Structure formats: structure tokens, C-alpha cells
Amino acid sequence: MVSVAGSDLEREGVKQWPPLPGRAALAWRDLADGWRKRWMWSALAVQDIRLRYRGSMLGPFWMTISTFVMVVAMGAIYSRLFHMDVKGYLPYLAVGLIVWQLLSSIITEGCDTFLQAASVIQQVPIPFSIHVYRGVCRNFIVFAHSLILVPVGWILFAIPVDWRLIELLPAGLLLAVNGVWITALLGLISARFRDIPPIVASFLQVLFFLTPVIWPVEALRDWHAVATFNPLFAAIDVVRAPLLGLPTADSSWLVLGIVTILGCGGTFALFARFRSRIAYWI
């Protein structure tokens, strides 16, 4: 009787044992656990900046100074090439370059997200998403330093500040979300294929000239719609237009929204599928 009762309890125990979580559940748990550890990746992001500019008196403000010098030098030349008033072109160029630096840094540094954290990944059992959030946070901190030039431009060029500044809140949120999936995707692919970082860097150089950063969309005339459907232009436009008191292009929010949904969905599927292999690839 005892053996029969024991076997019954054992069978009941097997039936009640919870099933193992699937790949999607583990991936989502990784993202959620990483987000809950905001204190960790934010502190690591600040430490990265301190180490990068260790011994420097100005720190990340060197990026602000270099952007200012570039804007003045390029503005004096390209305003004549595009037959634009220098007072209207300099703010356009400055904000465009600041946002482009954020996007290009997220893309290029995203390729090395897991490779640079190889020693940590192989020794400390923390969520992979912490390294992703860390990279995005680090680039946004540098971006915030460069934004100091914007109030200066408002004063020097008498740019009106209106209710459009409210659009910066959803714009910043969308840029952060896109930064997360771009960093995770490129970090994942680059961990498997080491040729991706130089390829991405080469494509970025080409995209810089194909994206309306230093030249206005209107310069394309009948072809300006081609530029407005560029996702990089949409990301720049939703930030640049409110800061300059201008309306965003009709397609910018739509394009950025579609890219966000498709990018997050596709990256999550890949992250769920290959997340367990990252430690072996690096």
C-alpha cells in the first residue's frame, strides 16, 4: 500500500511540475530584469564616460566644442552652396549634426556591445540586456552635453520657442526604444560575424551624405519625398523640427513608428532565438 501511494504521489508531482519557460519568455525576462537594474547600467554608463575622458578637463564637452567648430566651418561654406541664409542654415545644421552623432554612435558602438563585455558575460550571470541599456544610456548622456548648443542658438538667432517642444518627449522616447533594438540587433549579429562592424561603419559614411543632415530636403525638389521616407531623416526630423519651431515632415512620425514596431519585433525574435548562444560566440 505504501509503495502504491508513493507512486501515486510521484505521478501527481510530475503532473504538477511547472513547464520550463520558452525562449520568448526567457528573452522577455532578460529585458525586464535588465530594466529593473537601472541603477546598474546607468552607473556603468557614467563610468564608461569617465574612463573615456579620464585625464581630460572638459570631458564629453569636447564633443560639444568639436560640433560647434564643425557647424561654424561648414555653415559658412554650405550656406552659400545651398543658397540659404546663414542665420537659418546654422541652426538647421547644428541640430542635424547633434542628432546624427547620437544615431551614428548608437549604431557603431552597438556592434561592440557584447564583444566589449565578453569578460563580464562569461563570468557574471547578469541579463544581456544590461549591456544594451548601458550603451544606449551612455550615448544619450553625451547627446545631452551636445544639446547645450541649442539654447545658445535660440538666443543668437532669435528662434521662437513654442508648444512644439512637447513633441521632444515622444521623439526622445522613440529614439531610445530604437536605440535599444538597434544595439541589441547589431550586438547580436556582430558577436557571430566579426565583419559586421567595419561594414556598418562604411555604410554609415555613405548614409551621412544620403540623409538630409547638412543639406535641406527641398534641395531635391521633385525627389524630396525619397529623402523624407529615409528612417534616419525621420529620426532627425522629429527632434530638429520642434527645436527650430518648425512642423515635422508629414511622413516622419509614420516612418519612425513603423521602423520602431518592425525593428522591435524582428530583434526580439532573433534575441529570443539566439540569446543563449551569445556567451559561446564571444
Q: How does pLDDT run across 99-141, given as a tens digit for each residue?
A: 999 999 999 999 999 988 888 888 888 899 999 999 999 999 9
Q: What are the sequence ranges of the domains in the chain? A: 22-281
CA 2 to chain centre: 63
Q: How far is CA 238 from CA 61, 127, 171, in A?
A: 24, 32, 6
Confidence tier at 151 by pLDDT (50, 70, 90) = confident
- Would the pLDDT of 9 be above 60? no
**What is the distance between the alpha carbons of residues 54 and 50, in angstroms, rounded to a whole number?**
6
Q: What average pLDDT is seen over the chain?
A: 85
**CB of 78 within 8 A of CB of 68?**
no
Answering whether pTM is above 0.75, one says: yes
Amino acid residing at 175:
L
The predicted pLDDT at position 16 comes to: 59
The predicted pLDDT at position 26 comes to: 87
Range from 149-163, 209-223, 241-255 that averages highest in pLDDT: 241-255
Percent above pLDDT 90 for the chain: 42
Range from 157-171, 174-188, 246-260 that averages highest in pLDDT: 174-188
Expressed in percent and rounded to 5, the helix, strand and coil fractions of the chain are 80, 0, 20
Of 103, 106, 114, 265, the C-alpha closest to 189 is 114
**CB of 113 within 8 A of CB of 197?**
no
205 grid coordinates: 559614411
Of 217, 210, 214, 207, the C-alpha closest to 249 is 217
Q: How far is CA 101 from CA 19, 50, 96, 147, 179, in A?
A: 46, 19, 9, 11, 13
